[in-house]
Amino acid sequence: MDELPGLLHSRQPNKVRQGAAELILGLTSDAASLRLITSNDELVHMIWETLDDKDKKLSVAASQILVNMTSHSDQLFTAPKKTVPQILWILHNTDAIHMYNSMAMVLNNISRSLEQAKIIVEMLSLKDCQLFLKLISCNQEQGYLAAVLGNIAVTDEGRKLLLQESLFSELISLLTMPGNIIVRRNIARLLRNLSFDTKTHNIFLQFLPQIVYPLVGGEEVEDEDMEKLPLDLQYLPEDKCRESDLQTRILLSDTLFQIGGSFSVREKFREENYYVLLKNYDQWEEDMDARERIQNVIYLIVQEDGEVDLRKEGELPQGLEKEDQVVHVERDNQNVEILKENGGS
């Protein structure tokens, strides 16, 4: 293990360095070997240095090593003021597109805890978040930057950043991004995390049609009921499909339930006849847990009024730690899978 830093050094032939990188990547699948790697400061330093190598094969291997290392250990987060700017620099560098996805996964892995998210959000600017949205929208990474935004949504500074009008409207639009369940699910998770803070509810009011839209199908609605609906939810085609991902539907229902704790939101639910659409969704949904979530929202609409506090004491914002999403690169086929810890849904 002590020889590996030297084998990665730029003075070595590329063939030797590539062999060392492949060996290290293979070792990251073994817990004992991974502990040895992360405890070797010189080796960790050389891996980060290799990210900047002109040889794309080497830089990609280094980025995949870091994905696996950060999926199992927080040790690499001991110097965030160096590592996070390096990740951001790569994501802003159009010549580094081959590493975008891995860097998004690393950033997700190191922002999973509330403590780490607080540190990272201090290094993010509006420009960085706008870049994340651009990369997500253009499919230049698989959707893990949306997970990063969901991670920082549990911090005060993160919410201030994400709720800026120019950013939030674009985030909401990704709820219907075709062909990418990871993006849609992570945006729904972001909204759920934001909704724990009651100060966000008035902002959500402006975007209720977009949040409800994925839960709406093409069922026939009586004209009298249709006229009360928001314009964006009227006269949808008969073949309108609901969100196909169960977890995304549950997260959206949870968001509606949380913001429904504010009287102004419940009033809007009633004024614009959301009951009809949500009832249709309840009758369509087959998953019992998902049905229970949307029935909770319907109950808020039909019950006698009075301000409702849906959060338990100390609940804000623990959702992130209960719902860790760890990404890991499998060496044999380079596929990425999401591993869930702590009983997260």
pLDDT of residue 79: 60
pTM assigned to the model: 0.85
Amino acid identity for residue 212 in this structure: V
Q: Which residues pair with 328 in a beta bridge?
A: 337
* Rounded mean pLDDT for each run of 10 residues along the chain, 345 residues in total: 85 92 90 86 91 93 93 62 90 95 94 90 96 95 94 95 93 95 96 95 96 96 94 95 97 96 94 96 97 95 66 40 47 36 35
pLDDT of residue 185: 97
User: 194 with 162: CB under 8 angstroms?
Assistant: yes
Q: How far apart are the C-alpha atoms of 153 and 279, rounded to whole Å?
A: 30
Q: How far apart are the C-alpha atoms of 267 and 269, rounded to whole Å?
A: 5
CA torsion through residues 308, 186, 29, 59, sign? negative
CA-CA distances (angstroms) from residue 24 to 65, 75, 210, 229? Answer: 7, 17, 45, 57
Indicate left, alpha or beta for 177 from its phi (over 0: left) and psi (-120 to 50: alpha).
Answer: beta
- Helix (H), strand (E) at residue 325: strand 325-329
pLDDT of residue 155: 95
- Domain 79-197+316-345 class, CATH top level: mainly alpha
Q: Collect all residues with Cβ–Cβ distance below 8 Å to 328 and sequence separation of at least 6.
A: 67, 68, 71, 72, 336, 337, 339
Residue 182, both tokens? 């990871």
> Distance between the two ends of the chain, CA-based, in angstroms?
38
Q: How far apart are the C-alpha atoms of 258 and 250, rounded to whole Å?
A: 12
| In the chain, where the domains are located | 1-76, 79-197+316-345, 211-314
